Amino acid sequence: MPTIDVVIHLSKSECLAHYEGLYTNVRTRSVDGRWVIFPAEALRRVVGQEGVHGVYRLAFSDQGRFINIQPLPRS
């Protein structure tokens, strides 16, 4: 299962816009500089009171479909 680590910084209001369906996808950069697009509904799994901030690991199927998102420990 391919994974990619991404940096996400979204405010509470930006997350709300994604949650309300105003956006269907999130576009962000990976830690190695590539652009990555994944479903906005994935943010529901990691959003906190301040929004979403940090580095996250995205998992994809071999066909490129999004499977999972998980926060990575801060170093």
Taking alpha carbons only, the member of 49, 1, 8, 2 closest to residue 25 is: 8
Listed as ranges, residues in the chain with pLDDT below 50 are: none
CATH 1.10.3470 correct for 3-71: no
Report residue 3: phi and psi, to 5°.
Answer: -130, 160
**Helices in 1-75 by DSSP H: which ranges?**
12-19
Beta bridge partners of 36: 28
pLDDT reported for residue 56:
96
pLDDT reported for residue 20:
84
pTM: 0.87
Longest CA span, the chain: 33
Q: State how far the Cα of 29 lies from the Cα of 22, in Å rounded to an integer.
A: 21
pLDDT reported for residue 38:
92
